[in-house]
Amino acid sequence: MKKAIFLGALFISFASIAQKVNIIPQPNEIKVSNSNKKFELTAATKIYYSGNEHLKKDALYLQSYLQQYYQIKPEVLPTTSKKTEPYIFLQENNTNKQGHTEGAYTMEITKKSIEIASENNTDGVFCGIQTLIQLLPTTTSNIEIPQLSIKDAPRFQYRGMHLDVSRHFFPVSFIKKYIDYLAYHKLNEFHWHLTDDQGWRIEIKKYPKLTSIGAWRNGTLIGRYPGTGNDNKKYGGYYTQEEIKEVVQYAKDRHIDVIPEIEMPGHSSAAIAAYPWLSCFPNEPTAIPKNMISEQSKDELQKGPKKLVQETWGVFDDIFCAGKDSTFMFLDNVIDEVCALFPSKYLHIGGDEAPKTHWAKCPVCQERMKKMGLKDEHELQSWFVQRIEKYVNSKGKTLIGWDEILEGGLAPNAVVMSWRGEAGGIQAAKEKHDVIMTPGNPVYFDHSQTEYEDSITIGGYNPIEKVYAYNPIPKELSQNESHFVLGSQANVWTEYIGNTAKVEYMIFPRMAALSEVLWTELPNKNWENFANRLPAQLNRYKKWGANYSKAFFDLKTEILPTADRNGILWKLTGKTDDSIHIRFLEQDNELVYTEPLLIKTASTPVCTYSVDNQKMELSQSFIFNKATGKNISLEEPASENYPGDGAFTLVNGVVNTKGLGRSKEFLGFDGKDCNAFIDLGEIKSISSVVVHTMSNKGSWIWEPSSVNVTISDDGKNYTPAGQSTNFISNKSTNGIIQVDFNSKNARYIRIDIKNHGTIEDGNPGAGHKAWLFVDEIEVK
């Protein structure tokens, strides 16, 4: 018999899972009977519904699920028939009570019946069906369900998932499956990102070139940016209007709203490739870096200037011209066709990462600014968005935009989708605008969910624990202001997600954590309880044939300072079948892990352990220098999107070797300098400071413009030691700046790492402040 080893909070007893009710998201009120008698669902069970068309669809949905996964097909009947036991009864109770909560439902399960009811809302019964599905066993032949009662309602009305189909295209069959995944998790909003620089994916009949030209690119970057060349394979695809209607109806039958996104004014290279006159400079060729461009595009550009669909990732200067009336005629016509296809009350227009370099040089844009009394290009973008919003409102829709639409003044009725942290959402809510919170940290599901990269990701580290801990209501908002937060969604950008299996891998099981964040009231949330319920959900993913990440079972590592700041502690938590064995590459001995491991010299511990009978291995290399494990502070904290483990990350003995693939080891500073103070504990002789940093211009990350070192004996009076501007690349995008100086004695060291500043024209993110990434600081 195997022995489960308890390592911190993440302890799961597989033996007891079958005896528990494993529902995700956790219902807000549930009472489970002590009776051993259960409801048995068989082919003889009938599904009754209380006489309206959408309840009939809900009943047929449940029947279809049972037939697909359990090979039984209960008869579906209206309640005009006399109910015979055993039965499932779906009903809506329409009362005269004021107010209602969409998605609220009750469930009563006895030995002879299951009754699911909603009050004054049309979504509740369907949400109750999802709860019933989670009560079904995944492994046994007998379908037995415990007796219980549930009274449940969602915390937030907006519970969403996003999917980018521009960078990589996915067929209608998968879009339907994706919608099913949302439904299973009680999510009700599907944000469909249909256009971007790398492809236009929706048929617009008035402008056929959007799909005949704009939906196809001549090749795609190989590997993580800046990559290793171009694959030279024509790539693309699009959805016909009939396919769009099919998807929208499919989602409607699952009580899911489909929100289309048509990017403007930036991220418009694909549209401009189809109709160059939409650009400020239609006769200028599309800029694609020489080491990333396809052979086909090279050949086409040799024949003369041409607009092309982008083949790599990032932000590009081509933008819809804000000075031409013809641009708005085009966009109005596109909006007409989009609104006719999507009944959602929302239309997302992007509005993010819009470079202003072309507008600044464009005479017609400058004339527009003069005519409208606009002081700069930020106000021109605000005017652009407000102009579009008026038209969107005239179609009976509400505009959603990424938080950049705040720049220059917010459109009167717009909903802000806050992605660059929470600041934009906080500002919008304080201005009494509705907000959807979707900060990169922690709800960008294109970010890695494991510390140990198993495939290429765009960067960032959002493990399931971090997703589960998220609260979409920022603490900075008052109770009244918090009402403007409609909810949240997770985003799936697909630069490095090229197939459906990887989409599933990136969303599961984090979608389960998100669903509980958005459904379950805070007092009813508990990580340990969720962790105990999750393996049953993973078994359900298996039953669906879905791919999912097993990072949940990884050993979680933490690097901590010692009390005396002499060395570091390596802490491991997780659930294993038996003991964790640790050996050091530099030594022959082996030990059993019982407590955080003290490390005082450069070394590489290797852990071996097993989870669910699978052998696992984990290793970590530590460097050591005079700063390792010492006290460190920062003048200003890193961005909440790239916080690492705080300032101690910079002296924890770990040097990043994976670039953005393991960005937990980086602190990111958005447009700001990094000013660090290290206390060596005593006066020591030093002659060099090495700053490990990064240059990844496609992601707006630039190497520091300089590193300046000053030293002190008392922590108050500092004298110069040395400075350097020489960035030395040592692996892909990683590199160092080393400051050498004559040997000096000091206890305190101040390291000022200066941000590059504003990104110059011709580079991704031009006009924006650069990111500064710092990994480790060595003192020698």
* 1 in any annotated domain: no
Domain boundary among 529, 546, 563: 546
Residue 22 lies in a domain: no
Residue-level pLDDT at 453:
64
C-alpha to C-alpha distance for 756 and 635, rounded to whole angstroms: 18
Same domain for 672 and 719: yes
Q: Active-site residue among 353, 407, 446, 554?
A: 353
Q: Residue 21 falls within a domain, yes or no? A: no
Q: What is the pLDDT of residue 80?
A: 76
| Segments of 541-650 assigned E as strands | 556-561, 568-576, 581-584, 590-592, 597-599, 605-611, 614-619, 631-634
642 vs 666: CA distance, rounded Å: 7
Angle between helices 510-519 and 527-544 (to 10 degrees): 130
The Cα–Cα gap between 512 and 216 comes to 34
Examine the domain organization and report whether 393 and 445 are in the same domain.
Answer: yes
**768 flagged as catalytic:** no
What is the per-residue pLDDT for 11?
A: 33
Verify that 319 and 454 share a domain, yes or no: yes
Which segments of the chain have a pLDDT < 70? 1-19, 95-99, 453-454, 659-663, 732-733
96 and 171 fall within a common domain: no
Give the CA distances from residue 720 to residues 625, 693, 712, 744, 777, in Å, rounded to whole numbers and listed in that order: 21, 22, 9, 11, 18
CATH number for 519: 3.20.20.80
Assess whether 370 and 512 both reside in one domain: yes
Please check whether residue 115 lies inside any domain of the structure.
yes
**CA 487 to the chain's CA centroid:** 15
Query: Does 233 share its domain with 284?
Result: yes
Amino acid identity, residue 68?
Q
**Length of the chain counted residue by residue:** 780
Q: Which CA distances in Å does 552 have to 64, 340, 403, 654? A: 31, 43, 32, 23
Tell me which of 587, 619, 651 is where a domain ends. 619
Q: Is 592 exposed, middle or buried (0-12, 13-18, 19+ CB in 10 A)?
A: exposed
User: Rg of the chain's alpha carbons, rounded to an integer?
Assistant: 28
Which residue is catalytic, options 162, 193, 267, 358? 267
Residue 407 sits at φ, ψ, to 5 deg, of: -70, 125
Of 123, 164, 196, 422, catalytic? 196
Residue 662: per-residue pLDDT: 63
24 domain residue, yes or no: no
From the number of C-beta atoms within 10 Å of its C-beta (0-12, 13-18, 19+), residue 754 rates as middle
713 and 751, same structural domain?
Answer: yes
In angstroms, the Cα distances linking 419 to 405, 429, 472, 516 are 12, 14, 12, 20
> Does residue 639 share a domain with residue 563?
no
SS3 32: strand
Any domain includes 437: yes
Range(s) of the domain holding residue 102: 29-152
Q: Are 127 and 215 in the same domain?
A: no
Does some domain include residue 9? no
What whole-number distance in Å separates Cα of residue 503 and Cα of residue 546? 10
Could you tell me which of 364, 393, 395, 392 has the C-alpha nearest to residue 380? Answer: 364
CATH number of the domain residue 42 falls in? 3.30.379.10
CA distances from 333 to 200, 395, 460 (A): 16, 12, 38
CA gap 471, 488 in Å, rounded: 9
Whether 267 sits among the annotated catalytic residues: the reply is yes
Q: The CATH number of the domain where 724 resides is what?
A: 2.60.120.1190
* Alpha-carbon distances, residue 188 vs 85, 126, 191 (angstroms): 32, 11, 10
Residues 6+ apart with CB under 8 A from 565: 629, 630, 631, 681
DSSP state of 579: P
Single-letter amino acid, residue 129: I
Q: Using CA atoms, how far apart are residues 410 and 206, in angstroms rounded to an integer?
A: 30
- Quick check: is 353 catalytic? yes
Among 457, 417, 461, 408, CA closest to 439? 417
Instruction: Assess contact for 252 and 342: CB atoms under 8 A.
Output: no
Residue 18 lies inside a defined structural domain of this protein:
no
Out of 619, 649, 673, a domain closes at 619
Same domain, 148 and 162: no
Q: Are residues 271 and 310 in the same domain?
A: yes
- pLDDT tens, position by position, 111-153: 999 999 998 788 999 999 999 999 999 987 789 999 999 999 9
| Phi (first) and psi of residue 470, to 5 degrees | -70, 140
Number of domains in the chain: 4
**Same domain as 242, residue 169:** yes
Which residues lie across from 740 on neighbouring strands? 688
